[in-house]
Every structure is written in structure tokens, then in C-alpha cells.
Structure 1
């Protein structure tokens, strides 16, 4: 143990920890410097009960919804997000998703577990949004699996990385309208037949990196409810908010 401590100290002298999104020195690994922390829009306590988007005011009642969730039906039961998808949060999400920055998943899952709050309960099964196998090969990893594994580890909940599967490839959704997104994802996600026994009568916590229209989470929730899930909640690293 003493040798390990000495080696760890030596490594920190040679490779001191730096900020996740810049080169500034920080006190601990996987942290943000003061400037980047200030540029990261963490979501506070006043949130929409179905997607986690921030709501104005300090006295939001349980069940209050944002404009999107008032106008768009959500098949899941509750939802939360850790960050608003803008500024440094956007850089973090894109780094994790497209920049091979798998190290971001560690602090991100901590933020997500904190944002989930009372949405979690014992026995809830944590499951990531799946990638189609072709996209997974190109990207080499599924960022939602990394986030889901981290959330499960921090909360002590069971984790099933292959509970869901994409049964067909879908187009890149960036730039598409909400209606186009929902059409593209219709019936694109199914429950893995080998894991169907873990769904019936249980509760599932769906994990994804960012929620925009909610089309992907809708498709996944529909698959889980058809397989007999008693409840489905969603938890994302970031929530895209109009005007943000």
C-alpha cells in the first residue's frame, strides 16, 4: 500500500490532474476548474417532472411540467436531467459521444445520480438506450452504456446493458424536426428476448446522454411497456431546452 501511494504521488507530480474541458490544473481527477464549472449549466431543484428541464421560480409543485411535456405526450412516468444542453454541457456531451472522451462518463454519472433524487427506488433496473450494431462498431462504444453503468454503480441498482436493442438502423437525428424524429424511431427499439423476464412487472430506469424531442426515449419506453414493465423513468445527462 505504501509503494502504491508513493507511485500515485509520483504520477500526480508528472501528470497532475487537469480540468475535463480545458488544461487548467484541478485538485482531483475527473473534475472541472472554477471557470468551466461556472460555464456548465447544472439543473437546480425546480424541474419538470417528466423530463427534468428547469422551470422558472423556486416553488414548483410536484408534477409541474414544462411546455414541451404539456404539449407532447410522454409514455414514461418520471424524468430528470443533470445539465441543460448548452455551453460547457454541450462540449461535455459531444466529447463523450463523438470525441472518445470516455473519462467524462465517470463524473457525468455522479451528476446524473444526484439529479435522479427521489425518482429512484430499490430494485429499479438501470438500462441504457441501445445503439444499432453498425453504429456501435463505428463509434466503438455506447456512451449510454458507460453512463448507465456509472449510475448503477453509484446507486447500487441492478444494471442490464443489453435489455434493449435496435432492430434496424436509424438516420442521424441532428437537424430533424420533432415529427421526423418520432417517425424515424417508430418501432426501432425492442426488448431483447433473452432479457424479457427482467422487464415484466418491474420498474426500469432508462439512461441516455441527451434528450431533445424525446423520440428515442418514447420508442424505448413503448417497447418496455409492451413487454410488461410496471413503470419506466428516464434519466439523461443533458436536456435540450428551447431558447437555451
Structure 2
């Protein structure tokens, strides 16, 4: 893996750095002994499987299991193609049911390893994963981010946000902001209707579930009107949630809405028409 795919410091690395820095003034010999002891006591762990790893980041096994999405893919939905049909080709899905947003891109396919990362961030308070996931997203979304005026995370309902204590999409958006300097408008979009979990719902049920669930408050419209917005989320499944968000942003006069997610469900590799 290259330098751009290195993960941020784990908790063990962070603590090790803080303690070791306090010993530097005591001399290099003592500092070396201290660092060696800390390496044993607080080993750096893989951000996915939590196994000890040399250096920082993802272990070789988990790295090999991640399926990064790269061209060729549908110019609209970012769904990967089996072969390269040439620039600008659309998938059958994009033509049959074009979304409200203009383009969607994802860093990886939603497989077992990606699921582990997403669930660890979302449900196990592994907020230390957000920087590396955001870094991969920034790379995957270079085309979108180069034209973007503002980042907007998919919001949680306030009750769910209160129980979870953070919005994983907001953390990913903050990481992308640091990587790209595209400004973040974290509260420009609100979830005004508490919806049920999308897991287990059909495509049509997902769309109905989030209908009318999102709104740009009047006092936030100035952040959106005339802007090219990149909507940030963790996973794209049917696209119902981000489509509902995009429609709310377009009603607030956004110039264009694109979607950037960490992982997307790919039922099978799609061929263009």
C-alpha cells in the first residue's frame, strides 16, 4: 500500500506517542527502551480486524480483501463494468431509473471487510476509522470534489443522533474536508421525519420510507442555493436515502448534487447498454 492509504494513529499509537515524547528529554537510550516497551504493551492494530500490524493501517490480509472501485464504471451511478465501453457510458439502471443526483462514486464495494469497517465506525464507536475511510473516499471522489462548493453529510434524526452520540456520515465528511479543503456544511440538511431502519426493506419500501424525511431549513438555504453539493454517506444500497436528500437539496436551489460514499452495494458487475 502507498502513503495515501496509511491509516491514522490507533489509540495504542497515540498513547505510545504521548508517553514516549515525555521521555525524549531524558536521553535517547531511555527513550529507546521506553518505545520498545510501549510497542509490546500497546501494539498498533489493523483498523479492520484489530490484529497487530507492523506500522500503521490495514493488515495485508484485510487490504487484499478490500475491493476498491476504479474505472471502468457507469458515469452516472459509479457501478463498475466488466469491460471498458468507452467514456460516458451509462448502465441500464441509470437509464431506466435516473436519480435526482448527478453522479455517485464509492471507494469500495460493500463486502465483508467493508462491512466490518462500516459497522465498527457506526455501532462500535470506532471513530478512529473515519480519517482513513475519508481518505479513501476523497481519492475515489476526486472528480466530484474538484468541482464541489460544499460537503453535506446525510443527517440522522436527532433522536438517533442523541442515542448514537455522533453521525458517522458527518465524521466522514469532516475527514474529506481536511483532505480536500472543500468546506463542510454539517447542519445544512436535516432529517425532519424519524424513519425506520432501511435494512430488510425492498427498494420501493426504502423509497417510501424516506419520502419527505429531509429538509433544508430556511436559515440554511444560503449555504446551498447555487452551490455544487457533494452529499456524503457511509453506504449506498438502493440509493433511496441519498436520492431523497438530493431532492431536498435541489428544492433548496442547489446547482448540482453529487454523492460520495465509502461503500456501495454491487449486486453483480454491470454491463453498459
The residue that corresponds to 1:14 in the other structure is 41
How does 1:230-241 map onto structure 2 within 5 Å?
230-241=255-266
The answer to whether the 8 A contact 1:123-1:158 is kept is no
Scaled by the length of structure 2, the TM-score of the pair is 0.82
The residue that corresponds to 2:143 in the other structure is 118
Q: Deviations over 1:58-104 (max 9, x none)?
A: x3433323343232221111110001011201111111122211111
Counterparts of 1:184 and 1:202, CA distance in 2: 27
> Is it true that 1:53 corresponds to 2:79 in the alignment?
yes
The residue that corresponds to 1:171 in the other structure is 196
The answer to whether the 8 A contact 1:51-1:234 is kept is no
Counterparts of 2:97 and 2:22, CA distance in 1: 54
Counterparts of 2:75 and 2:23, CA distance in 1: 45
2:225 equivalent among 200, 203, 210? 200
Q: If you compute each CA radius of gyration, which structure gives the higher value, 1 or 2? A: 2
The residue that corresponds to 2:254 in the other structure is 229
> Is it true that 1:190 corresponds to 2:215 in the alignment?
yes
Q: 1:122 to 1:13 in 2, by over 3 A?
A: farther
How does 1:116-155 map onto structure 2 within 5 Å?
116-121=141-146, 124-155=149-180
Counterparts of 1:102 and 1:127, CA distance in 2: 19
The residue that corresponds to 2:238 in the other structure is 213
CA-CA distance at 1:49 after TM superposition: 2.1
Q: Which has the higher mean CA deviation after the structures are superposed, 46-55 or 222-231?
A: 46-55
- SS of the aligned residue for 1:126 comes to strand
Question: Aligned-residue CA RMSD in angstroms?
Answer: 2.1
Counterparts of 2:140 and 2:60, CA distance in 1: 21
The residue that corresponds to 1:97 in the other structure is 122
Counterparts of 2:48 and 2:102, CA distance in 1: 34
The residue that corresponds to 1:26 in the other structure is 53
The answer to whether the 8 A contact 2:48-2:117 is kept is yes
The answer to whether the 8 A contact 2:147-2:228 is kept is no
Counterparts of 1:130 and 1:5, CA distance in 2: 44
Scaled by the length of structure 1, the TM-score of the pair is 0.91
CA-CA distance at 1:138 after TM superposition: 1.5
CA-CA distance at 1:188 after TM superposition: 0.6
The answer to whether the 8 A contact 1:51-1:81 is kept is no
Q: Which has the higher mean CA deviation after the structures are superposed, 117-126 or 36-45?
A: 117-126
Counterparts of 2:179 and 2:97, CA distance in 1: 32
Counterparts of 1:188 and 1:221, CA distance in 2: 11
Q: Deviations over 1:138-197 (max 9, x none)?
A: 211100000000011101111111110011100111010110011111111001322110
Segments of 5+ residues of structure 1 without an aligned counterpart are: none
Q: Which has the higher mean CA deviation after the structures are superposed, 108-117 or 64-73?
A: 64-73
Q: Deviations over 1:209-242 (max 9, x none)?
A: 0001111111111011111111111000000111
Q: 1:151 to 1:179 in 2, by over 3 A?
A: same
Q: 1:181 to 1:163 in 2, by over 3 A?
A: same
